[in-house]
């Protein structure tokens, strides 16, 4: 749900009055859900990404989060409906590598007929799931370069426990 501070920050970014606005692309929530993790897990260990969950396994329509016509590379490691993990390295992934060497990744979705490589703007990649190393159904969104797990793209805009509507601002990348 939009807060006055979040709306103000988004407006300032659009006017290029804060540094994050230098990023070229808006990241929106891939479906309606609650932010369940950001920089750190509940245990306090580093996470360096945004996790969003609707609380419903196989929830229809996980979209690519970056709002731009990008070439998404979709990797399918499992075809079953997996909601609570099936081992590290078995997560389904959609990713885009930017010209600056950073990669934006989305993990854990369930394979559907929408799970294929393409160039798109907010296209579906599958359904909400828990493929790979996951404790429940969610989408994991990570922006990194050589494993750096950059957190500056979302930290001023998104916080754990916040409910986001589909397409609501998560942060800026690019």
CATH of the domain at 113: 2.70.70.10
Q: How large is the average pLDDT for residues 163-172?
A: 97
**For 38-47, what is each residue's pLDDT tens digit?**
999 989 999 9
Total Cβ atoms within 10 A of residue 69: 11
What is the value of pTM for the model shown? 0.87
In b/e form, how buried is each residue of 136-169, taking b as 16+ CB within 10 angstroms?
bbbbbbbbbeeeeebbebbebbbebebebeebbb
Burial (CB count <10 Å: 0-12, 13-18, 19+), residue 15: exposed
34 vs 18, which has greater pLDDT? 34
Question: Regarding beta strands 169-173 and 33-37, do their DSSP bridges make them parallel or antiparallel, or are they unpaired?
Answer: unpaired
Q: Residue 63: which residues within 8 A CB-CB, separation 6 or more?
A: 30, 31, 122, 123, 124, 125, 166
Q: How many domains does the chain have?
A: 1
Residues 77, 82, 86, 91, CA torsion sign: positive
Q: How large is the average pLDDT for residues 18-22?
A: 45
Q: What is the pLDDT of residue 121?
A: 87
**For 95-143, what is each residue's pLDDT tens digit?**
999 999 999 999 999 999 999 999 998 999 999 999 999 999 999 999 9
pLDDT at 33 > cutoff 70: yes
pLDDT at 19 > cutoff 70: no
5 vs 160, which has greater pLDDT? 160
| Domain span at 94 | 4-173
């Amino acid at each position: 749900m939009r807060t006055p501070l979040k709306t103000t920050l988004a407006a300032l970014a659009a006017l290029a009055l804060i540094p994050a606005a230098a990023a070229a692309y808006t990241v929106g929530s891939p479906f309606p859900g609650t932010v369940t993790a950001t920089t750190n897990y509940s245990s306090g260990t580093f996470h360096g990404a945004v996790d969003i969950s609707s609380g419903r396994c196989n929830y229809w329509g996980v979209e690519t989060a970056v709002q731009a016509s990008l070439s998404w590379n979709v990797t399918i490691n499992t075809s079953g409906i997996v909601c609570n993990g099936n081992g590290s390295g078995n997560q389904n992934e959609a990713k885009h590598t930017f010209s600056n060497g950073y990669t934006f990744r989305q993990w854990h979705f369930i394979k559907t007929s929408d799970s294929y490589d393409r160039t798109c703007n907010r296209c579906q990649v599958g359904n909400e799931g828990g493929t790979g190393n996951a404790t429940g159904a969610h989408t994991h969104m990570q922006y990194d370069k050589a494993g750096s797990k950059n957190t500056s793209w979302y930290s001023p805009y998104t916080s754990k426990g916040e409910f986001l509507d589909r397409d609501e601002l998560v942060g800026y990348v690019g």
